[in-house]
Chains A and B, each alone.
Chain A
């Protein structure tokens, strides 16, 4: 039985087990139907031209974890941003761990999707927001919708800001061989409210893990959201991350994606600008080696006038790794005075590595400023020579240059502790001790 059949046939059993109102039930049934029709994407589809899921789909994943696993904090401390105090929503093999978590209902809701989906007090919010911006067409998103049960639920009311950033962590213990996880997050930030989120998926085992995650983010007027995705997983873990963001007037949303690990990572990052004077920023650094594969698919749909979007993705690819960037900007006829910028710079440091990039513009409005640039190149020989002539060994010199190359993506990170952490990860990834704190 292949994975698709397995998923479809286990849907009934899953439905019977969860206690949910019929509103969500209808959405789920619709979603599984769509998935059944479409199946997993394949390379013949334009959006998946450079990323194949075939080898993953051959693995016999178990869909529901059979037992509840526990972890000691000291064993996983290093995966937390422990230098600063944060709210934590932690899942182990897809199941919420109250022991490791720190949630709150004090003025803001930082809690669980499962309770939001079942408790009557959240019904109005769920009815308004759940599965509204997420695609009803994309097969992987609908697969997640069909099985959506657990994840993070964050609601920040008007004029509020939580006292500290929120960390969402997903651990896979590997007690279960070949696990498939489908977390579902819903984040709503009301007018003039603020939020910072750090999301991380971490496998603690060499067993295969496939995560198909969907996050819906709603930013109301003047809302300000910073979202950081740290992707530094083990070689046996794959991630398909679907993020859908809807922005209202004058809101600002920044998404940073740091990709240093994992076997196959696919980021589908979709911004929908549903208000005027919206600012959307997405930045990413990818440093890969071995046979890792990363695929950044971004979409910015400018649907209202006077908006801005800014994209900056940097990639350093070594060994047999593959990097894909596909950035799409759509400017509707009504979206006059749009200012859209997109940049993708890549460095290839191995002959076996591959880069496929496709920055794409679809523009239907005339009074716009849209540009994109992309480069593939090497480190500047002269700069390298300069450093070496001053006594810096070649390896360190090139690491320094690569660090500098990736650095401007980090500049907009507003959490110093996270910035330091990412700096260390980069230095570590480039395999050098720079001898000083970056």
Chain B
């Protein structure tokens, strides 16, 4: 983090929400509201086979009877689900072979976001499947991946071209009726990413997708399905930014990870949706269901850096089904101003000798509320299950809150579970020490926060770690009195 003071200052001044712009691209948007016809229409627009339409309808019917969950420690005005348009896609969607064919306005958007496609292409091994308002418009490195037999495409493409795989795995980890938002997503998801790593293949590059909400008043319903076949390895990156808007936007994504025997999936997220302005106006509602299932000897590792969204409701989970499976969760959640985050994980130990690690760091500043909510469950047949959880919270200012709700359920006598949590503020002596050595308070805080988050930052792939560190600093600007 080699910033000069001026650079940082300048960055902070302009930081309100640096990605807050809006691209004017004609969109193909469905009327607002949700009913069976809309679900059918979405399915039809995407040319989906009949089984997919039925699958969506099933989810929709279940959703109709469900009520929004209220147990989370968050307060917000509930979205009106009939006042949302459930589909919007950039209207030109040819398949591009080269960048020249891409709508220049779209390219400009990406440039502002700092994802230069050319650069990405050249950059060491990052294939980018860019999702702009739900429809995949550019895929790079596909050919390289194809040679290894890796499928990395949008989920709608996968439904067309690999229906067997999709049909076999879709909804197996997060069933349609799992929860309110998962059911909604299952009914109306517009697009997302699909990834399949064949047996014994080690994916040579980090796979990544950039999401972006664009069309005004459109909810974004992403669906991601990652399948790692026996003995394979993949590292998947997901990063989000969204343009600023007054009206609250809804984001209800579902991510399913399937790690078959001996495989490993590493899923990293940097989430930076628009958090609302200083008065807490606007901002994205982020209600995400993320879950992975580990078969024998498999490993799933979730790493997340959450700095955005007005409301975050997110619990990336691992079901450790097979023997010797490993689940990991590393998280940093930063809330500032009026942001609210209720996030954590679930580790369900079913197989023997399963292990899980949870490291969660919460940083709250301003008037924000930050909650960790986690479940560690050891079933009666999970011999020698092992869990270690650590949740640390850092409070900055006296108007914010930090909360911890860990649930621990053990039904096996050989289980070993440890949980520890601490809440504290940045020590005055620590800041004084830095000041003494000529480091100003703002920088000292950045330094301390960085140290506090190090355990999690270290788990991020290189590309993300740098970005994440920067994000942390920006998000906490002005929170020191």
Contact = CB atoms under 8 A, between A and B. Distances in A.
Nearest to A357: B408
A342 to B, nearest CB: 9
Interface string B231-247: 00000000000000000
B404 A360 contact: yes
B96 interface: no
A348 B413 contact: yes
Given A358-B408, A362-B403, A366-B397, A376 B423 contact: no
Contacts of B425: 366-368
A351 B380 contact: yes
Given A350-B413, A376-B415, A378-B416, A358 B423 contact: no
B409 A355 contact: yes
Nearest to A356: B409
B419 A366 contact: no
B7 interface: no
A361 B419 contact: no
B417 interface: yes
Contacts of A371: 420-423
Contact of A378 (B396, B401, B413): B413
Nearest to A328: B405
Most buried by B among A46, A358, A361, A362: A361
Chain A interface mostly: strand
B410 interface: yes
- Size category of the B interface is 35 or more
B399 interface: yes
Given A371-B423, A373-B419, A366 B410 contact: no
B71 A359 contact: no
A46 B393 CA distance: 23
B282 interface: no
B422 A370 contact: yes
B380 A372 contact: no
A359 B419 contact: yes
Contact of B414 (A333, A373, A378): A378
A351 B398 contact: no
B404 A359 contact: yes
A348 B399 contact: no
A29 interface: no
A325 to B, nearest CB: 9
A376 B378 CA distance: 11
A377 interface: yes
Interface of B: 71, 378, 380, 393, 395-425
Given A358-B408, A376-B410, 10 more contacts: A333-B399, A356-B410, A363-B402, A365-B395, A367-B425, A369-B423, A373-B421, A374-B417, A375-B418, A376-B408
Top 9 closest A-B pairs, CB basis?
A366-B395, A376-B417, A348-B413, A370-B423, A361-B404, A373-B420, A371-B422, A366-B425, A364-B401
6 contacts: A333-B398, A363-B402, A363-B423, A369-B423, A371-B421, A372-B421
Interface of A: 46, 333, 336, 346, 348-378
